[in-house]
Amino acid sequence: MGQIAYLSATGEMLEAFSVNDAVWNALCQLPRGSMTMPRTNWPATAKTSIKGLRFFSHYPGYPGGLPKPESYAHTRLKIDVVRALRNTGFKANVEVSGVSPDGEEWVADVLAENVDGSRMAFEIQLSSQHLRDFLRRTDRYERSGVKVCWIMEDRVVSWRLTKAIANANIAYYHEHKEFLADCAEILPFRVQLENKDTYPDPRPPLHFGRASYHKAMELEEALAGVMLGIPRWEIPEWKWGDHYIPMRPFKQEA
């Protein structure tokens, strides 16, 4: 399942979350073969979940292996991220695929483009993963010419990552008597969610930094700041640039 499909006749990309109700209702009535799924080119079908979430999925019978479905919260947050980036004037799309120079494939939750053509991936991580996987996936993006920002669940994912980084840098603690619980390679935001099956209304803010450097922001301010290079790494932690003036959201030109 995903938010993207393509019209077979024209190759036009469709976004489940952005089309209006009339278009969505029409897409749900299209016969098999009218739309295809990204990367597999298998016939796609338009569906709406019991919670009202629109998505595209493979028609039954696909012979290959399919990725594990994303949680409701993951998809809702991904949609809010791409909308917030567009609200602040940046080009952004969901579920963008790419490949590193040595052939490693990746699919960004959201991929945004800056005015200078540089690209930033926003990865949403609501399940725990090993520190080496954060680093491996970050490196894969870097080798593809893409920077990456991680938006992770606060209570478990961020806490475990912080602990893992501190353990990996225990020598720093013995020398400086303070923990090195962040690293320059992983640009982190935290989001507080009750669970992966629900999503708050209004949408949740993003949290950045720790202690006196902690800052809670609406998505537009946080994501625009990342695109403009506001976060800075100063060992032992990430900080929000003092020179940054919060932006007022504005709409993209038609």
Residue with tokens 């019978």: 61
pTM, rounded to two decimals: 0.92
Q: Contact, 97 vs 91, CB < 8 A?
A: no
CA 184 – CA 161 distance, rounded (Å): 13
Q: What is the pLDDT of residue 164?
A: 97
Q: Contact, 69 vs 127, CB < 8 A?
A: no
Q: What is the pLDDT of residue 242?
A: 64
CA 224 – CA 247 distance, rounded (Å): 8
Q: What is the pLDDT of residue 241?
A: 82
**Weakly modelled stretches of the chain, pLDDT under 50:** 243-254
Q: Contact, 200 vs 191, CB < 8 A?
A: no
CA 138 – CA 108 distance, rounded (Å): 11
Residues in the chain, total: 254
**Cα Rg, the chain, nearest whole Å:** 19
Q: Contact, 191 vs 222, CB < 8 A?
A: no
Q: For the chain, give every domain's residue range.
A: 4-58, 72-240
